[in-house]
Every structure is written in C-alpha cells, then in structure tokens.
Amino acid sequence: MNSDISQQLQQQIQQAFEQQKALSIVGGNSKAFYGRVDERIGSAEKLDVSAHRGVLSYEPTELVITARAGTRLAEIEKLLHDNGQMLPFEPPSYADSATIGGTIACNLSGPRRAYAGAARDLLLGCKIINGKGEMMSFGGEVMKNVAGYDVSRLMAGALGTLGVLLEVSLKVLPKAEKEVTQMLEYSPSEALDKIHTWSQTPLPISASSYHDSILRVRFSGATKAVNAAIETVGGETVGSDAMHEDQHYWQSLKEQQLDFFTGDDASTRPLWRISMASDIESLELPAGYANDDCLYEWGGALRWLKSDAPAEVMQSAASAVDGHASLFRHQHGSIFQPLTPGLLRIHKNLKQAFDPQNILNPGKLYPEL
C-alpha cells in the first residue's frame, strides 16, 4: 500500500513539474507556522505525505531506525522508549500529529542538541522525490557509509524545498541510567562562565538553560557519574520528585510551553530564535529596544529573545557577532537571516539541481528560492 502512495506522490510531482505548478508539502501540519509565508505557497496545490507511514526497520543493537516520512514522531519515540532508547537530538513536536519527515525537514532540535548533536548530525540517509519527480536515495544506515551522506544532510532544514522526503534513517542512542537537573542562581555572565567551565570537564551534561537568574543543568548517564556531578556542581535538585519534575521542565522547554513562551505577551511580542557564540552575554541592540527578556539554551549558543525590534535591526545585530536570528513565531511567519551573496548563489544552484521549476514549497525558506 505504501508503495502505491509513494507512486501517487511521484506522479503528482511529475505532473506539477510538467505543468510548472507549485506544490505545498503537508504532513502532520504541526510546524506549519515555521517558515516564510509566501503567496506562491498559499495558491499551491497540496501534496499530502501523511499517509506514507510506518517503521521499515529497527534493530536496537545496531542503534539505527528507518521509517517512512509520514510516520508519527510519537510512534517512533514510543518504540524507542520501549527498547530503552531515544532520538539523541530530542526533537520538539508541537502537536501529536508531528511526523518524522517534518522533524527532519525543519531540522529543529531540543535541549540535548548541544551535547548529542542536531537532527542533521544524526541523519544517516534518506530517500526523496526531487522536483522533477525522480526518486533518489542518499547515504545509508551506518555512519561509515559516506556515499551521498552530505547530500542527505542537505534535506535537514531545507523545509521541503529540495525534495519530498519519503524515508529517513536515523542514529539512536540508549537512554541514560539516571537523569537529574540542578538549579543554581547566577548573573548572566556568571552562568555562562560556569557552564563553559563545566562543559570542558567530563561532567555528563545533557542540557542547560538560563532565565530569570536561574541556571539549570541536566546531567544524564551512569548513576555513579551523575551523583559525582551533583557533588561537583552543587545547587538544588529540581523538585521533590526529581525525575518527574526534571522531565516536565525540559519537555516544556522543548515544546516552548514554559511561561516564558506562553505568557501574556506571547501573542503580541515577536519571539526570536538566535544562534550566536555562547560566550557573548547579549546582543547589542539600539537604544529603545529591550534586550533583557531572554532565555538561554545550549550553553548560551541558542537564545530565545522577545523583542519589538524590526527584523533588520535584529538580524544586523546577530550578523555583527557572526550569528543569525530567525523570527520564530509571529502572525506573519518566520523570517530567516538573509544569506550572503555567496551562500545565496550556492542555494540557488542546489535549488536548480533538485527542483529546476521551483515547484516544491516555493519561497518557504527564502524569497529567492
């Protein structure tokens, strides 16, 4: 049945290619907010991949899972959990309908990303349909298979603009024997200094966050190693029921359900997702634009900032520190950091190679693509 679905998808893309008609790729629709709002997508024909689902292969001893792109993320995570394993990049879902294809297409990773790798890093291979309706396979199911491996990585974060994902193979890891979060009170500069110092030691850090003077550091690993880390770092263990409270906090952070994300100003103040050097305390914004309502993740390498500053101001400030800023949630959709002329040329060349008629999610990533 799924082979029939993949053939139907292929035929729909081939027809769109011949007629030069735009297609809007739809899966679980849990991340429809992510990406640019472009009039070409609004008038495009829907390409629904949600029925192309199912785990194709999973061997726990090999630490690899291969699934069709329409497979629910929750289904995959339950299967891994039942076998004492997990997706190392701890992806957000935003809805029960989230699929593994959409997860990879967006390349969004959760709190564990800085310590275990991003979605792109754990992608071993994939099968796609390009913009001409051709089925193509890249990579494999082992890290040593490098044939086409970098090409499969291109699909992570491309938002479907280079091809429609049919299948993905991902590396998985065992769950930790023990997981505990410690809370400590510091100024922003002290918090960054502490987490940088600890990250250069063998401490089993698996997540970190900082907001409202509170630094949270999660340790995951063997019981002995976690207990030793607690003694080294000190602080207060989260909650009386430490494991439950610990999981609840990081789950809420991953899904952007903390008060920081859902407060009274959530619908009125733009939320920016900023990647920058972790040792820089804050962006330098012009006078009149607040820069204090910020949550730090990934040891400071990811900042969530609520600011009314215009996009060009935010992105200029990020560019000044060799970072990039994306407007993450807003009624007008995400706005990504503009590409340099050299990078834009590379993106255009890739788009031309994979989708020469520009029919797959046109304008979803950048207006020029």
Shared-domain flag, residues 137 and 167: yes
For residue 67, the model assigns a pLDDT of: 98
Shared-domain flag, residues 199 and 165: no
Q: Answer with the one of 174, 196, 214 that is the final residue of a domain.
A: 174
The CATH number of residue 124's host domain is 3.30.465.10
Q: Is residue 211 part of a domain?
A: yes
Q: Is residue 272 part of a domain?
A: no
Shared-domain flag, residues 155 and 191: no
Domain residues for the domain of 182 are 178-254
Shared-domain flag, residues 69 and 126: yes
Shared-domain flag, residues 158 and 192: no
d(CA 132, CA 31): 25
Shared-domain flag, residues 32 and 87: yes
Q: Is residue 126 part of a domain?
A: yes
Shared-domain flag, residues 7 and 75: yes
Q: Is residue 265 part of a domain?
A: no
Shared-domain flag, residues 121 and 183: no
For residue 243, the model assigns a pLDDT of: 53
Shared-domain flag, residues 165 and 33: yes
Shared-domain flag, residues 168 and 198: no
d(CA 363, CA 369): 5
Q: Answer with the one of 231, 254, 277 that is the final residue of a domain.
A: 254
Q: Is residue 241 part of a domain?
A: yes
Q: Is residue 358 part of a domain?
A: no
Q: Is residue 353 part of a domain?
A: no
Q: Is residue 242 part of a domain?
A: yes
d(CA 158, CA 18): 23
For residue 205, the model assigns a pLDDT of: 97
Q: Who contacts 173 (Cβ-Cβ below 8 Å, separation ≥6)? A: 63, 85, 86, 88, 116
Number of domains in the chain: 2
Q: Answer with the one of 174, 207, 237 that is the final residue of a domain.
A: 174
For residue 81, the model assigns a pLDDT of: 97
The CATH number of residue 226's host domain is 3.30.70
Spans in the chain with pLDDT lower than 50: 143-149, 240
Shared-domain flag, residues 196 and 169: no
Shared-domain flag, residues 141 and 194: no
User: Do 286 and 310 touch, CB atoms closer than 8 A?
Assistant: no
118-127 pLDDT per residue, tens:
999 999 999 9
